[in-house]
Structure 1
Amino acid sequence: MCSYYIRTPADGGQFYYDRVNVSSPHHDGKMHTPYPPSTGDLIHLWDTVAKKGGTFTVLARQWMHSSYGSTNWPLLEQQPTVGPLLELIVEPVEDVFRYQALRQDDEAEASS
């Protein structure tokens, strides 16, 4: 399960971290995926509560695993009942085509 937090600058070199509520069939605001993005990856996110989104780059990842004997990993169980939680810090960026230049043929076609 992935939770995303958008980092925006605050005063004094600190940051605000706003959670993104991602739509999922679990209705928990988290992205359930076997392939979480890595640091440096670009990802498009849509917040279903705030009704806004965009393209973001992953700045940092923090894994949290269940402890043996906890509610999520009961004693005598071989594996946890809940998988690890991954918190990802993201920052808004332009998409991968931000440096795309139009060719002369494309410019002529666009102006006609």
Structure 2
Amino acid sequence: MDKFKKKKFKVIAILASGLILAFIAIFGRVYLNEKRRDNALKYYNEIFNVVILADTLGMDLEYSDNKENTWVMNGDNTSLHDIVTQDITDIYQGRKRFFTTTKLYKIKICRNI
């Protein structure tokens, strides 16, 4: 009888441990998704004005990531707002894992003479 109780206790302990780990994994994933969503919305709110200003004035945007890579994005053919919105959507959906810093790069002056 004593061996039966020990086996029963082991089985119950293993099942309880498995349920606890599953609970932690599910709610941890939900928490991380909410945190990523909140960070993406915060990032969008921070750079929204810069992107609209660059789009309106015909300026380029300089992007740099956390790995010190820098590139210039120009909105000649497409809207900068659409490009940045797609970037934020990728971050929100987990396809990208880093945020970029954005600043105005240069203004293009067109003169009709």
Which structure has more strand as a fraction of its residues?
A: 1
TM over 0.5: no
TM-score, length of structure 1 as denominator length = 0.24
What's the TM-score once normalised by structure 2's chain length? 0.24
